């Protein structure tokens, strides 16, 4: 996957962001951030993601 490939359109995380996160922390912490934001109602994937998810 190319580093610029968008993974999360709501929070603008790319594949490269996840790779950097893993290198910095030994694992990615991004999914927990996305889950917390989603639970707080701060996601709108249907509008932000071209695939609607």
Res. 24 pLDDT band, cuts 50 70 90 = very high
Instruction: Give the span between the Cα atoms of 31 and 22, in whole angstroms.
Output: 11
Map out the domains of the chain as residue ranges.
6-48
H or E stretch at 6: strand 6-8
The mean-pLDDT minimum among 7-11, 18-22, 46-50 falls in 46-50
* Contact in structure between 18 and 7 (CB atoms under 8 Å): yes
Give the list of residues 6+ apart from residue 11 with CB closer than 8 angstroms, or none: 33, 34, 37, 43
Paired tokens of 8: 């999360």
Paired tokens of 29: 């912490």
- Average pLDDT, stretch 31-44? 91
Looking at the predicted structure, is the pLDDT value of residue 13 above 90? yes
């Amino acid at each position: 996957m190319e580093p610029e490939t968008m993974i999360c359109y709501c929070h603008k995380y790319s594949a490269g962001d996840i790779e950097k996160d893993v290198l910095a922390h030994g694992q990615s912490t991004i999914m927990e951030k996305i889950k917390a934001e989603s639970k707080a109602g701060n996601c709108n994937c249907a509008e932000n993601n071209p695939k609607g998810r």
